[in-house]
Amino acid sequence: MGTFIQLRAADGTQFPAYVAEPATPAKAAVVVLQEIFGVNTHIREVADAYAKEAYLAIAPAMFHRAQANVELGYAEADMGAGMALKTAIEALPAPGALQDIQASIDHAHKMCGGKVGVVGYCWGGLLTWRAACLLNGLSAAAPYYGGGMTTEAESARQSKVPVMAHFAEEDKWISMASVAAFKTAHPQAQVFTYAAHHGFNCNHRGAWHAESAALAQERTLAFFKQHLG
């Protein structure tokens, strides 16, 4: 359904982004932010699924500033490679790769002319939270099990747009105590937890939990319909 295009960030950096367009005119757009595995088959499928819901979907290659053409699987070696790339991107001087998300948001506005939301998974969930707090042109944000977003430093940020956050109750990286603290700090945000493990939305991983993934997607689509159209 989709294809890769080249976008340019404010600092002149060019990077690829996967774009999935709906069969009918887009009612709005969704920027899809990857896990630590690159814009792989699963992330492209997520973008395609949003296109089937009549959203223009753009998934920028968030590792491009460290390494081009990253597409990883879910084995232990892939996890290590993805963590190393995430560390490299996180170490960039601010605003770093957030510029690439902003360029994606701006391009989405140009392509569809409607409102733009952002959704992200794992590291992409953290980036979704940061985008909601720091970037311009968004109307809604839906982070899934955003690693690090419930830390004191990240939770101290304030979102500019409505947020719906999804967390896994059996997540070994994100404690339920930190999720509760995040919820207290951001009473305006919708925060849901699921009886599942980290990565429950990804049907390519052993952590996939079909019931939780379907419920979270149902809630997110309703949330985007409310705030994006």
**Residue 171 annotated as catalytic:** yes
Q: Could you tell me the two tokens for 155?
A: 């939770």
Confirm whether 122 is a catalytic residue.
Answer: yes
Helices (H), the chain: 41-52, 76-90, 98-112, 123-134, 152-155, 176-185, 210-227
**CA separation for the pair 223, 135 (Å, rounded):** 20
Respond yes or no: is residue 11 known to be catalytic: no
What's phi and psi for 6, nearest 5 deg? -105, 130
Pair of tokens at residue 183: 């919820």
**Selected catalytic residue, list 198, 202, 209, 227:** 198
Classify residue 157 as exposed, middle or buried by CB count within 10 Å of its CB (0-12, 13-18, 19+): middle
Residue 140, CA distances (Å) to 111, 118, 137, 227 in order = 18, 7, 10, 6
The one catalytic residue among 171, 197, 209, 227: 171
Q: Length of the chain in residues, anyone?
A: 229
Q: Which of 130, 182, 124, 173 is nearest to 152 (CA)?
A: 182
- Tally Cβ neighbours within 10 Å of residue 143: 28
Shortest CA distance to 200 belongs to which of 58, 33, 35, 50?
Answer: 35
CB neighbourhood size of 162 (10 A)? 19
Q: Which residues are catalytic?
A: 122, 171, 198
